Amino acid sequence: MNIIDWSETLRMELIQLEDQGVVIDSLPAHLREISGSQEELAAKCSELYQSRLNFRAVDGYPYVEPSDIVSIEKESLFHAPSAIAADRGILLDRIQGAWLGRAAGCLLGKPVEGWERGEIRGMLESYGAYPLQHYFTGRFPPQGLEPWKHVQFEQNTIENVAGMPRDDDMDYTILALKTVESFGRGFTTEHMAQMWLTYLPPFMTYTAERATYLNLCSGVGIPEAAIINNPYREWIGAQIRTDLYGYICPNDPATAARMAFQDAALSHTANGIYGAMFISAMNAAAFGLEKPEDVIRAGMDHIPQRSRLYEALNWILQVKNEEPDWEKAGDRLLDRFAHMHRVHTINNAAIVGLALLYGERDLEKTITIAVMLGLDTDCNGASAGSVIGIMNGEVGLPDKWTRPLHDKIESYIAGEGVQSISKLALRSTALASGGKA
């Protein structure tokens, strides 16, 4: 079994370096040639890592994108926590809403994860179900797509699931909960590495997480584990892991973002880290704000203002002021970020922002927009649904979307297995209120 495809690793690393402002033509010619045996390609990847301090940057590169928390905070506008009512019943309702909204959005997007917008629309239109208003059904299977898309779709339609099936988006939320329960709010990146190696199955990790896991098992320390042979370090992996920190930090986005940093820094750098901080800060801010736009801005305040992610999110806010139709806005978004991989942080975070803005605090509108735009649909549906779940609480979520979850979730995190979503909400509420469930 080839655990690492060195050809893909080298190709993706060159793309990543160009994205972060490295002059690719200045690299030695042999390092720009994606050819040779697996051993030769691995040696090229190693040489790129060893040479990283000597890379020449593009003249006038406009972005400032640090990966350490001190510099990130200097580039951001961190806020002090605001007062919030400590009523445990209200807090539980909001956190239960967060878990349910996240699971509903994840389940909705799971059958079409990785599909293009046109493929999703074409399938829905073929049986008169566009725009999307329900979980996907197996009664109308897709036609003419790659075989893996047919298999994935069939496995995850509403008829073939009983509750929330295992998904990495939900696994990492549970692992974050378990981490804070184990080490407290002051957990470190080293603690997170320990949690991964103890509770997270290695072959249930992907892209940046898989690369980091292999590094940790090879004895690579932090922070090199996030960099060596990891061209996915600005992809979406960390962004899907950090909602829980917002759940347990109501109205305190700064603390949530700092906790997200400790998690994300294990496997990601720069915008990969910022996506995690943005999502966690939004979830924390959602407890005290009424408008999705304000929630987005609160999240943006906790990432560097001179980063590509901040620029993308600010652009989405401008588009909302210019374009009343979400479909036209979505087309503009997909065109602007067409060069990015479908699981990059920036394009998918932009989709989450767009879905929140045009969803107008309605769970159905929000998660269906997030999914109909394609790309990493389960991740985007989950992230957007999480925020709306907090804003509306469980009592404000439609039974249409929560009932099919059957208050049940499956996890591959060791020791968790199949359990109730309400139990996870109780455990989270205990952390949010400083007590025990």
Which segments of the chain have a pLDDT < 50? 436-437
* 331 assigned to a ligand binding site: no
pLDDT at position 437 = 43
- The maximal CA–CA distance of the chain, rounded, in angstroms, is 63
* 378 assigned to a ligand binding site: yes
Structure letter (DSSP) for residue 222: T
325-367 pLDDT, tens digit each = 999 999 999 999 999 999 999 999 999 999 999 999 999 999 9
Structure letter (DSSP) for residue 210: H
Helix, strand, or coil here: 362?
A: coil
Which two tokens mark 115? 């599909």
pLDDT at position 3 = 82
Whether 103 contacts 382, CB under 8 Å: yes
pLDDT at position 81 = 82
The structural domains of the chain, ordered by start, are 6-54 (no CATH), 69-112+163-433 (1.10.4080.10)
pLDDT at position 360 = 97
Work out whether strand 409-410 and strand 418-419 pair parallel, antiparallel, or are unpaired.
antiparallel
**383-414 burial code (b ≥16 CB/10 A, e <16):** bbbbbbbbbbbbebbeeebbebbebbbbbbbe
- Measure the CA–CA gap between 431 and 415, rounded to whole angstroms: 19
pLDDT at position 83 = 67
Measured CA distances, 352 to 236, 259, 293 (Å): 12, 21, 12
Measured CA distances, 434 to 88, 91, 250 (Å): 11, 12, 12
pLDDT at position 436 = 46
- Measure the CA–CA gap between 355 and 369, rounded to whole angstroms: 5
Peptide bond into 223 cis (omega under 30): yes
